Amino acid sequence: MTTPSGQAAAFDALAIGTEIQRRIGVKTSRDEPLGRFTTIRLGGPADLFAVAHNAFELRKLVQFARSRGLAHTLLGRGSDVLIADAGIRGLVIQDRAEGIEIEGRTLVAEAGVPMARAATASQVAGLSGLEFGLAIPGTVGGAVWANAGAHDSTIAAVLARARVLAADGSEGQLTPAELGLDYRDSRLKHPGPAGIPEVVLGATFQLEPASAAEIKERLEEIKRWRQEHQPLGTPSAGSWFRNPLPDSAGALIDGAGLKGLRIGGVSVSEKHANFLVNDRKGSATDLRRLSDRVRAEVERRTGILLVEEVVYLGDWGDWQPEAAA
Ligand SMILES: Cc1cc2nc3c(=O)[nH]c(=O)nc-3n(C[C@H](O)[C@H](O)[C@H](O)COP(=O)(O)OP(=O)(O)OC[C@H]3O[C@@H](n4cnc5c(N)ncnc54)[C@H](O)[C@@H]3O)c2cc1C
């Protein structure tokens, strides 16, 4: 998430880091390598990096950056992003706000709670609805942003409301309709004309009671399915392209004979064609080139233009996508 203002030239990371520590009490680090904060394990450094441990710190860090016009980028678990090898200019805030509360049939989570933890916490409470979270290695905030979904469910199906810090600094509880949740989409992906993204601070899920055995069976089924179908254990960002409904991106890529296609240290997974994997310590540049190549080849063969589900973050310079031959 990057504000249009606050360019790198005016960015004094040392002074700003000192001010953040003094005003908000959050330590920062400079030139922090970001690859380890992503599931694809790629990407260069952040000029300045801070971890928010609760919603208060998250709110304060975002408000601080906005008030200074500082470029700032929010990271959850980095499971739906590709960060440029040149890194990210300005402040990167990693959301580790992981408070979680269950009352009756309601689960309230801060935005940094991993979806898998939301799934297991609701299991322990005998509540059903969030089992699909086990398949999503991201945070509640990232899942609301994406309207993440798996195994016939989505965030939209269980979300009662999300607490959102608006671009104007106000805070509100938004319903799924107000969030514009749609297939892997939400209004959070489309900042207004000022380009200041909204931030999810937390979410409230409405769940249904179910027997422990029923929930356990569902979780095990999800685990089995993933192990069978996804290249787990090899760094990836999950499904690389959106499904051009009613088609499946994986089927189109497979049909174009692109499984195993390699550029440098990255390749199209042999197990799941819509997973691009960092299997030999590649670079972000390799991966974006591979993505361009796959998109161009699928378009050439089928006329269908795939669109990335993953977002590119950071300093990509003047990237020129490969055109269909
Ligand atoms: C192996 C694997 C399997 C996957 N399977 C699925 C699947 O089955 N279904 C599915 O939908 N997705 C899947 N994904 C993709 C990914 O896990 C989800 O999109 C997830 O919701 C992203 O959350 P994150 O915290 O990692 O977000 P990040 O990747 O850290 O961030 C993604 C974007 O969200 C923004 N963001 C993050 N937190 C917030 C916040 N609090 N408020 C506002 N914006 C925010 C970031 O700025 C960034 O632009 C998979 C990924 C992997 C690696």
Hey, what's the torsion of the CAs at 7, 13, 19, 21, to 10 degrees? 130
Pocket probe for ligand 1: among 38, 53, 145, the residue whose CB has the most ligand atoms within 8 Å is 145
The response to whether residue 1 sits with its C-beta less than 6 Å from ligand 1 reads yes
pLDDT at 53: 98
* pTM attached to this predicted model: 0.95
Look at the block and give the residue holding tokens 């055995």: 213
Question: Nearest 5°: phi and psi at 78?
Answer: 60, 35
How many domains does the chain contain in total? Answer: 3
**Does residue 201 sit in helix, strand or coil?**
strand
pLDDT at 194: 84
Alpha-carbon distance of 5 to 221, in angstroms, equals: 47
Domain end position, chosen among 228, 257, 278: 228
Answer whether residue 89 shows pLDDT above 60. yes
| Burial of 5 per CB tally in 10 Å (0-12, 13-18, 19+) | middle
- The rounded Å distance from CA 235 to ligand 1 centre is 14
**Same domain, residue pair 246 and 212:** no
Answer whether residue 5 shows pLDDT above 80. no
The response to whether residue 43 sits with its C-beta less than 6 Å from ligand 1 reads no
The response to whether residue 278 sits with its C-beta less than 6 Å from ligand 1 reads no
Q: What is the mean pLDDT of the chain?
A: 95
Structural domain containing residue 31: 8-95
Pocket probe for ligand 1: among 80, 151, 223, the residue whose CB has the most ligand atoms within 8 Å is 80
Contact 72, 2 (CB under 8 A): yes
pLDDT at 66: 96
Q: Is residue 280 part of a domain?
A: yes
Q: Is residue 251 part of a domain?
A: yes
The response to whether residue 201 sits with its C-beta less than 6 Å from ligand 1 reads no
**Does residue 281 sit in helix, strand or coil?**
coil
Percent of the chain with pLDDT strictly greater than 70: 96
The response to whether residue 291 sits with its C-beta less than 6 Å from ligand 1 reads no
The response to whether residue 6 sits with its C-beta less than 6 Å from ligand 1 reads no
**Same domain, residue pair 90 and 113:** no
Q: Is residue 147 part of a domain?
A: yes
Alpha-carbon distance of 160 to 191, in angstroms, equals: 22
Closest ligand 1 atom to 139 CA: 25
pLDDT at 8: 44
Question: Per residue in 146-199, pLDDT tens?
Answer: 999 999 999 999 999 999 999 999 999 999 999 999 999 999 999 988 889 999
**Same domain, residue pair 179 and 259:** no
Angle at 101 between CA 100 and CA 103, to 5 degrees: 155
CATH number of domain containing 52? 3.30.43.10
Q: Indicate the pLDDT class of residue 325, thresholds 50, 70 and 90.
A: low
Q: Indicate the pLDDT class of residue 3, thresholds 50, 70 and 90.
A: very low
pLDDT at 10: 60
- What residues contact residue 201 under an 8 Å CB cut-off, 6+ apart? 55, 58, 59, 97, 110, 111, 141, 163, 164, 165, 171
Give the pairing of strands 88-95 and 45-52: parallel
* Atom 43 (ligand 1) nearest CA: 199
**Same domain, residue pair 113 and 63:** no
Amino acid identity, position 215: I
Answer whether residue 6 shows pLDDT above 60. no
Look at the block and give the residue holding tokens 């685990």: 223
For residues 67-85, average pLDDT? 97
Domain end position, chosen among 95, 120, 141: 95
Answer whether residue 1 shows pLDDT above 60. no
**Same domain, residue pair 199 and 287:** no
Question: Per residue in 136-149, pLDDT tens?
Answer: 999 999 999 999 99
Q: How many C-alpha atoms does 64 have within 13 Å on its Cβ side?
A: 24
